[in-house]
């Protein structure tokens, strides 16, 4: 009798096991839920902000498990014309350019044409032998800049994680930053090669590999990509990243036929009353800033971030290997690298290659998961990707007041996380 039961059970399992396995897989992969009711309430709150004059308009997009869960376009695209905001409105994404250029550079790593450990001077000889600026004060307290040799050269990895010793002149104050501000580093008529020549004559702010400091590292990375590939940065990124991903509205300027879709800020910032300073993206620029020169749309950037969340592939097109994405989105700082005086990733976060990475469940004053990664743009755009929740959120507005933008970004993140179920 017992043997008969075993035989019947065995036959039953052979017959129905495939169906049971399919059910288990289906349940395990079912799209995670998102409360559209909560997100609609957030849309109403954002619309109220538009009515109060906080920003002209915004596009928000939330995706979960590979599907768009919520999308909305609120307010106006251009406050001068009153053109309504559209889902495909085109935004200046500023430093959200950096992850795109990072991915482009990593394709060259995968090709074996550059290595993360390469000294940058192997590809850009102009940057060999740089010196580090050290501030010294005399007896009267007057500061002067003393130049000392770099203890080692900056590497490609340093460029990708902002530990190169380079800096930005407009974040914080120092004598090195003063030299940056005098050098005309953001001239729209310069080439990336000319930028490198200018930087080769300036001191570093820190010893390479010792300190995270937000910097022109990704601009230098763009110049390195050009030198290695033999292509201008716009052509290289189009061939290796944006065209393969179907990002048809992402580039360094907007063609004439599409310029009616450009999102614009208020002429005067609502809080500071200062004139908005945003670049003209209506004509080609010679300076293809790898650190902040691109435009995009929320749907385009979703395709880029979904590729990363998928482990480097989208719709059958592979841009990066899974292991390359793992490296890009892992903390590269550890405990050995100091956080600079203005550590933008913030508490609870490290930095990967081109993106900040959450490394602690606590510490940060916002919701998230260990392993989520993100970056922002100074003109009002932001995104984050949460692999644990299979979640992507994108917020795009145009406003040249960073502290005000940070407030809205944090609020968006809190609401999105409160909406997942």
Domain boundary among 197, 228, 259: 228
pLDDT of the residue at 64: 96
At 286-326, the pLDDT tens digits run 999 999 999 999 999 999 999 999 999 999 999 999 999 99
At 85-134, the pLDDT tens digits run 999 999 999 999 999 999 999 999 999 999 999 999 999 999 999 999 99
**166 in a structural domain:** yes
Give the domain CATH number at 193: 1.20.58
- pLDDT exceeds cutoff 80 at 17: no
**63 in a structural domain:** yes
At 150-186, the pLDDT tens digits run 999 999 999 999 999 999 998 888 999 999 999 999 9
Calpha distance 157→159 (Å, rounded): 5
Which residues, including other chains, have CB under 8 Å from residue 76's CB and lie 6 or more apart?
A: 50, 56, 57, 82, 83, 84, 85
pTM for this one? 0.90
Neighbouring-strand partners of residue 305:
none
Say whether both 87 and 128 belong to one domain: no
Tell me the backbone φ, ψ of residue 47, rounded to 5 degrees: -65, -35
Say whether both 218 and 244 belong to one domain: no
Say whether both 238 and 220 belong to one domain: no
Say whether both 279 and 387 belong to one domain: yes
Say whether both 172 and 282 belong to one domain: no
Domain encompassing residue 59: 36-93+231-419
Calpha distance 278→293 (Å, rounded): 11
Which residues, including other chains, have CB under 8 Å from residue 29's CB and lie 6 or more apart?
A: 65
In total, how many domains does the chain have? Answer: 2
Calpha distance 27→21 (Å, rounded): 10
**195 in a structural domain:** yes
Calpha distance 359→372 (Å, rounded): 8
- Reduce the DSSP state of residue 10 to 3 states and report it: helix
Answer for the pair 255, 231: CB distance below 8 angstroms, yes or no. no
pLDDT of the residue at 32: 61
Joined together, the tokens standing for residue 40 give 């609609």
pLDDT of the residue at 138: 81
Q: Determine what percent of the chain is predicted with pLDDT higher than 90.
A: 86
pLDDT of the residue at 19: 41
**199 in a structural domain:** yes
Domain boundary among 177, 202, 228: 228
Strands 391-396, 373-377: pairing is unpaired
Say whether both 180 and 200 belong to one domain: yes
Answer for the pair 356, 375: CB distance below 8 angstroms, yes or no. yes
- pLDDT exceeds cutoff 70 at 191: yes
**11 in a structural domain:** no
């Amino acid at each position: 009798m017992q043997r008969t039961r075993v035989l019947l059970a065995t036959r039953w399992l052979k017959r129905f096991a495939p169906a049971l396995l399919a059910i288990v897989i289906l349940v395990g992969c079912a799209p995670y839920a998102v409360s559209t009711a909560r997100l609609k309430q957030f849309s109403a709150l954002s619309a109220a902000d538009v009515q109060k004059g906080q920003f002209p308009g915004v596009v928000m997009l939330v995706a979960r498990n590979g599907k768009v869960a919520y999308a909305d376009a609120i307010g106006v695209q251009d406050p001068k014309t009153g053109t309504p905001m559209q889902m495909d409105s085109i935004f200046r994404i500023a430093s959200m350019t950096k992850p795109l250029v990072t991915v482009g550079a990593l394709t060259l790593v995968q090709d074996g044409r550059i290595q993360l450990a390469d000294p940058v001077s192997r590809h850009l000889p102009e940057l060999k032998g740089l010196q580090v600026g050290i501030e010294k004060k005399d007896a009267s307290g007057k500061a002067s800049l003393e130049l000392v040799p770099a203890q080692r050269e900056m590497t490609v990895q340093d460029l990708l994680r902002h530990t190169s010793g380079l800096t930005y002149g407009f974040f914080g104050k120092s004598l090195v930053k003063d030299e940056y501000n005098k050098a005309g580093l953001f001239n729209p008529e310069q080439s990336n090669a000319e930028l490198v020549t200018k930087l080769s004559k300036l001191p570093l702010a820190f010893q390479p590999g010792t300190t995270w400091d937000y910097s022109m590292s990704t601009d230098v990375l763009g110049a390195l990509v050009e030198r290695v590939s033999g292509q201008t940065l716009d052509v290289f990124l189009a061939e290796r990243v944006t065209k393969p991903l179907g990002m048809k509205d992402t580039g360094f300027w907007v063609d004439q036929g599409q310029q009616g879709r450009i999102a614009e800020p208020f002429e005067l910032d609502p809080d500071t009353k200062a004139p908005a300073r945003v670049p003209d993206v209506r004509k080609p620029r010679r300076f293809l800033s790898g650190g902040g020169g691109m435009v995009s749309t929320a749907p385009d950037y979703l395709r880029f971030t979904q590729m990363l969340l998928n482990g480097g592939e989208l719709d059958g097109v592979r841009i990066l290997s899974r292991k390359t994405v793992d490296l890009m989105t892992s903390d590269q700082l550890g405990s050995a690298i100091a956080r600079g005086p203005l550590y933008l990733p913030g508490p609870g976060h490290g930095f990967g290659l081109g993106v900040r990475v959450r490394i602690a469940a606590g510490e940060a004053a916002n919701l998230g998961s260990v392993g989520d990664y993100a970056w922002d743009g100074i003109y009002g755009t932001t995104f984050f990707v949460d692999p644990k929740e299979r979640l992507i959120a994108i917020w795009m507005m145009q406003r040249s007041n960073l502290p005000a933008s940070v407030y809205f970004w944090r609020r968006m993140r809190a609401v999105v996380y409160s909406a997942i179920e």
